[in-house]
Structure 1
Amino acid sequence: MRALEKWFEPTVIVAMLGAIIVLVFADVIARFAFSTSIAVANELARLSFVWMIYFGVSYAIRERRHMRVTVILDMLPQGLRRWVFALSEAVFLIYSVAVCWLGIVITQQSLDRGKILSSTEWPTAVLYAAIVFSGGLSAARLVHSLWRVLARGDLRLGPQTDV
């Protein structure tokens, strides 16, 4: 379970990047060598890019490398800093849960309307599902971060050393 927790997002991100490289390379070769395009390659590369970006969000949260402004936090005394940091993580958690919920709504609406992608003819829900997975995984990562802050007083802004 620890290995899955540690390597899940990086594995997905690297796999998606590899897929993008292979698909775009194949499409470029097809265009120049055979004067044609691989429509499925373009669509799959786009899907891979979206999934890679959304999993990157949860990975950045896990490693505490997501963008944040810490000017006010740095000026606060240590005792107050912990609570303000926890509040900011809690607000981000609420946002992630909202993103996950709205992702579910959008995905369900696309399924109900029967929307499909043009080349693969897959439901557009495949694209929107990235929002659901990323929102849920981000929320789980933020719950863990809140626990680290409140239970252990861990205010480090870099990657965590424990899992």
Structure 2
Amino acid sequence: MKKDTENSAKPGVLRRFNRAVGKVVNAVEVSILVFCVASLGILLIVNVLARTFFQSIYFAEEVSKFLVMLMTFTGVSYGVRKARHIRMGAFLDSMPPKMEKTFIIIISLVSAVVMAIMAWASWEYLINAMSKGHMTPALQVPSWTFYVIIPIGFGLACIQYIRTILKNFIEKDPWQSPDQQSEYEDEEIGGAQI
């Protein structure tokens, strides 16, 4: 009995690696999301003031578009990893654990396939945009640079769904995401609970 407790207390190499990668990915995603929201807010407020008193900032629309795209497609992966995507939680919670696990695997599999198809389609779109050689009007940068995040975001979301599938095959209890947290638990941000 004591041996089982010791083994369960010591996470395996794969589990430690997964946690370390998860912490780094979480930190990067959260940093990108915070940066985008803060930058977007500051840019739009400054642009309103500049437009009111002087003239509009000529690149504000393009930078805003890029920040919204970056925020959206970074948020896709973050939402899947934290199980904060749209789902039928009440429906799953009312099922017996085996049936819930089966449904989570099926839903995650379908979602992973959809994300993979979207990643592939957005990659094709990115390649097409690169071949056109169009430049943005204000910043004069290649327009395809705005689209790089789209296949990355869909690809990372696909990986997160695959992780959910694997976690459900490995673990005894059903998991809606690898970094699952109950909807009713408080989240910690920067050491403080909200």
Query: Taking CA–CA contacts closer than 8 Å with sequence separation of 6 or more, which of the two structures ends up with the larger relative contact order?
Result: 1
Whole-angstrom distance in 2 between the partners of 1:79 and 1:157: 13
How many Å apart are 1:72 and its aligned residue? 4.9
Q: Which amino acid aligns with 2:155?
A: G
2:106 corresponds, among 87, 90, 107, to 87
> 1:45 matched to which residue of 2?
64
Whole-angstrom distance in 2 between the partners of 1:100 and 1:64: 20
> 2:167 matched to which residue of 1?
148
Q: Which amino acid aligns with 1:124?
A: S
Tell me if structure 1 keeps the 8 A contact 2:119–2:152: yes
> 1:10 matched to which residue of 2?
30
Whole-angstrom distance in 1 between the partners of 2:96 and 2:143: 49
Whole-angstrom distance in 2 between the partners of 1:153 and 1:16: 38
1:96-154, CA deviations, whole angstroms, 9 ceiling, x for partnerless residues? 11111111100000111112222112222122212111011111211211122111144
Whole-angstrom distance in 1 between the partners of 2:166 and 2:172: 9
Change (3 A) 1:156 1:147: closer
Tell me if structure 1 keeps the 8 A contact 2:167–2:175: no
Whole-angstrom distance in 1 between the partners of 2:120 and 2:149: 12
Larger mean Cα displacement after TM superposition, 147-156 or 61-70: 147-156
Q: Which amino acid aligns with 1:43?
A: E
Tell me if structure 2 keeps the 8 A contact 1:148–1:154: no
Tell me if structure 2 keeps the 8 A contact 1:65–1:157: no
Unaligned 5+ segments in structure 2 are 1-19, 182-194
2:52 corresponds, among 22, 29, 32, to 32
Greater percentage in helix: 1
Structure having the higher Rg: 2
Whole-angstrom distance in 2 between the partners of 1:154 and 1:99: 30
Normalization by structure 2: what TM-score?
A: 0.75
Tell me if structure 2 keeps the 8 A contact 1:27–1:42: no
Provide the aligned C-alpha RMSD in A: 1.9
Unaligned 5+ segments in structure 1 are none
Normalization by structure 1: what TM-score?
A: 0.88
The alignment of Structure 1 onto Structure 2 pairs a total of residues equal to: 160
